[in-house]
Amino acid sequence: MASELRVNTLKDANGNNSIATSFVAAGSAKAYGYAQHRTSTVELKDSFNISSWSDDATGQSTWNINSDMANTTYTPVVSSSYDASAGGSQVGCDEVWVTGAGVFKHDTFFGNGTYYDNDYVYAVAHGDLA
Amino acid sequence: MASILKVDSIGKTSGSTQDTMAGLAKAWVNFDGTATDAAARDTFNVSSMADRGTGLATITLTSAMSNSNYAGTTSCMGTNGDDDGRNYIAVAMPKDADEVYVNQFTTSGSAADAGYVAAQIMGDLA
């Protein structure tokens, strides 16, 4: 049976650390994902509310959200790393932009603008669901 | 009537639980760093934005954090919607409990206003 709990405020069991339930709704990540973009096994390795991730070209990928956001002004943030070798990572940058309520894109590139692929690409999106 | 639910963790009917309060983003914003006062397109728990100069924006939170040790993450683009920009970076850092600095610069290190900046704030509310 589906259940519905209606409250205004959450507190811990001692009655401390109060937080309004508005933070639960608006502060919950609406989607996240971990993609491996560099090595031979290019794939989406873990995700929540991501229907697919595509390797568009070197350093370029598209994230598709399963349950769409309410608009195109939500806030996806992506960080990435070249590989797991300590001190061996390439110096690079990430750029992210929204192209639709259910789509955002991500580029990785060196400081000189050359695209490259990363092994560890982590994305989190906050905003309001449709 | 206001209602209060007192719990330490929340989880599904099977599997592990989690500290729901700590894991929530306490603020997020999508803004245009090139606009006057770094105009916000969409926000949560943000009362205002300010432009401190080229590449320098300030987010003021509605409900403050408990300290200035919280975490900020960002992504950005020089031009909103540019699918081939590859030249901008942004960082978010606590100024104090209710203000966050978001600095934007080019990959060559020059201060610059970014047309699209997304920032998320994690930590404990006051």
Encode pLDDT of A45-54 as tens digits: 999 999 999 9
Contact (CB<8Å) B85/A107? yes
Q: How far apart are the first and last CA of chain B?
A: 24
Under a CB-based contact definition with an 8 Å cutoff, are residues B96 and B67 in contact? no
Cα A90 to Cα B52: distance, rounded to the nearest angstrom: 32
Domain containing B114: what range? 24-122
| CB-nearest partner of B24 from A15, A23, A97 | A23
| CB-nearest partner of B5 from A7, A78, A98 | A7
With cut-offs at 50, 70 and 90, classify the pLDDT of residue B5: confident
| CB-nearest partner of A93 from B6, B80, B107 | B107
The alpha carbon dihedral of B74, B113, A56, A67 has a sign of positive
Is B8 within a domain?
no
Is A77 within a domain?
yes
Chain B residue with CA closest to A59: the answer is: B86
Is B5 within a domain?
no
pTM: 0.84
Pairing relationship of beta strands B25-31 and B40-44 according to DSSP bridges: antiparallel
What's the rounded mean pLDDT across residues A6-16?
Answer: 83
Contact (CB<8Å) B42/A127? yes
Is A19 within a domain?
no
pLDDT, one tens digit per residue, over B38-59 is: 899 999 999 999 999 999 999 9
pLDDT for residue A70 is more than 90:
yes
Under a CB-based contact definition with an 8 Å cutoff, are residues A114 and A30 in contact? no
Under a CB-based contact definition with an 8 Å cutoff, are residues B78 and A60 in contact? no
Phi first, then psi: give them for residue B13, nearest 5 degrees: -70, -15
pLDDT for residue B117 is more than 90:
yes
Q: How far is A24 from chain B (nearest CA, A)?
A: 7
Q: Name the residue among B114, B117, B67 with its Cα closest to residue B94.
A: B67
Q: List the 35-94 stretch of A: residues with Cβ below 8 A of B.
A: 71, 73-79, 93-94
CB contacts of A11 in chain B (<8 Å) are 4-7
Q: Which two tokens mark B66?
A: 């408990």
Is A1 within a domain?
no
Is A11 within a domain?
no
* Number of domains present in the structure of chain A: 1
Tell me, what's the pLDDT at A114? Answer: 87
Higher pLDDT, B64 or B8: B64
Is B118 within a domain?
yes
With cut-offs at 50, 70 and 90, classify the pLDDT of residue B22: confident
Is A67 within a domain?
yes
Is A23 within a domain?
no
Cα B77 to Cα B126: distance, rounded to the nearest angstrom: 32
Q: How far is B68 from chain A (nearest CA, A)?
A: 17
Cα A70 to Cα A121: distance, rounded to the nearest angstrom: 25
CB within 8 Å of A48: residues ≥ 6 apart: A29, A31, A32, A33
With cut-offs at 50, 70 and 90, classify the pLDDT of residue A10: confident
* Number of domains present in the structure of chain B: 1
Q: How far is B97 from chain A (nearest CA, A)?
A: 16
Is A16 within a domain?
no
Could you tell me if B49 lies within 8 Å of chain A, comparing CB atoms?
no
* Segments of A19-70 assigned E as strands: 19-20, 31-36, 43-48, 50-57, 60-65
Tell me, what's the pLDDT at A62? Answer: 97
Contact (CB<8Å) B5/A127? no
Domain containing A39: what range? 29-126
Higher pLDDT, A47 or B17: A47
Cα A26 to Cα B49: distance, rounded to the nearest angstrom: 19
Is B104 within a domain?
yes
B38 exposed, middle or buried (CB, 10 Å; 0-12, 13-18, 19+)? buried
Phi first, then psi: give them for residue A79, nearest 5 degrees: -125, 155
Higher pLDDT, B76 or A119: B76
ipTM, two decimals, is 0.77
Is A46 within a domain?
yes
CB contacts of A97 in chain B (<8 Å) are 77, 80-83, 116
Is B3 within a domain?
no
Could you tell me if B8 lies within 8 Å of chain A, comparing CB atoms?
yes
